[in-house]
């Protein structure tokens, strides 16, 4: 019997999907893409009686990081990101200015994620570049759960017209790394509703796009 629990919330001004994945036995949790509403997230952690062991980022766009500094300050948990997105992390204030979002300083990443790296809560990091050079997806095989960030959406894909975006790479990431996962896998996208790998194999236009 699995002791893992999951809570996913839309947070922040751009309603980024943030996920808390915790173990009820060890009381340890990871938090993925805390894109805002730090107090709400911290309250949920207290309610669930969980301690954050790592703050994971699928990528370094502003809407996925806005509460990371406050979460780290409150919990001491390290921030993890793929190093290819360091240039985006270094321009977080610029991103906020461009989108008219208040900037709150965020400390730099503590840990650089790598492809196929094991992560807490029995997960695996998968490098899925295309939306950004360092985009990561997080796969939890036992739970048949994929946190895809802005790489894969329900019946859609992440945009590739922002800094470092690359359509050929996002297509390769989706078709060669994500669509090979178990079709029953639940997919948590960076924004919007959940989907499944099976649904996207049937309905996502990516495989027909040049």
Q: Which among 184, 205, 206 has a CA at the least distance from the CA of 195?
A: 184
Give the CATH number, domain containing residue 173.
3.60.15.10
Task: Give the separation between CA 81 and CA 56, rounded to whole angstroms.
Answer: 6
Domain count, the chain: 1
Task: Give the separation between CA 101 and CA 45, rounded to whole angstroms.
Answer: 26
Q: What pTM was computed for the model?
A: 0.95
- The answer to whether residues 152 and 178 touch, using CB atoms and an 8 Å cutoff, is yes
Each residue's pLDDT, cut to its tens digit, for the chain (210 residues) gives 468 899 999 999 999 999 999 999 999 999 999 999 999 999 999 999 999 999 999 999 999 999 999 999 999 999 999 999 999 999 999 999 999 998 888 999 999 999 999 998 889 999 999 999 999 999 999 999 999 999 999 999 999 999 999 999 999 999 999 999 999 999 999 999 999 999 999 999 998 886
Q: Give the angle subtended at the CA of 83 by the CAs of 167 and 149, to the nearest 5°.
A: 50
Q: Write out the residue range of the structural domain in which residue 37 sits.
A: 4-99+107-208
165 φ/ψ angles, rounded to the nearest 5 degrees: -70, 150
β-bridge pairing 152-153 and 145-149: unpaired
């Amino acid at each position: 019997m699995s002791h893992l629990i999951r809570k996913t919330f839309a947070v922040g001004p751009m309603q980024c999907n943030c996920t808390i994945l915790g173990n009820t036995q060890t009381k340890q949790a990871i938090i993925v893409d805390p894109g805002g509403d730090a107090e709400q997230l911290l309250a949920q952690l207290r309610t669930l009686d969980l301690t954050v062991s790592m703050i994971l980022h699928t990528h370094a766009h502003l809407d996925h990081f806005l509460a990371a500094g406050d979460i780290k300050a409150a919990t001491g948990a390290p921030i993890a990101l793929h190093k290819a997105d360091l240039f985006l992390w270094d321009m977080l204030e610029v991103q906020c200015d461009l989108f008219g979002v208040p900037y709150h300083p965020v400390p730099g990443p503590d840990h650089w994620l790598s492809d196929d790296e094991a992560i807490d809560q029995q997960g695996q990091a998968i490098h899925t570049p295309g939306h950004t050079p360092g985009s990561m997806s997080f796969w939890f095989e036992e739970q048949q759960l994929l946190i895809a960030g802005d790489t894969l959406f329900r019946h859609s894909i992440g945009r590739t017209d922002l800094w470092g975006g690359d359509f050929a790479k996002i297509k390769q990431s989706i078709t060669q790394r994500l669509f090979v996962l178990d079709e029953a896998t639940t997919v948590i996208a960076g924004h919007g509703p959940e989907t499944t790998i099976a649904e996207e194999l049937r309905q996502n236009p990516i495989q027909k796009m040049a």
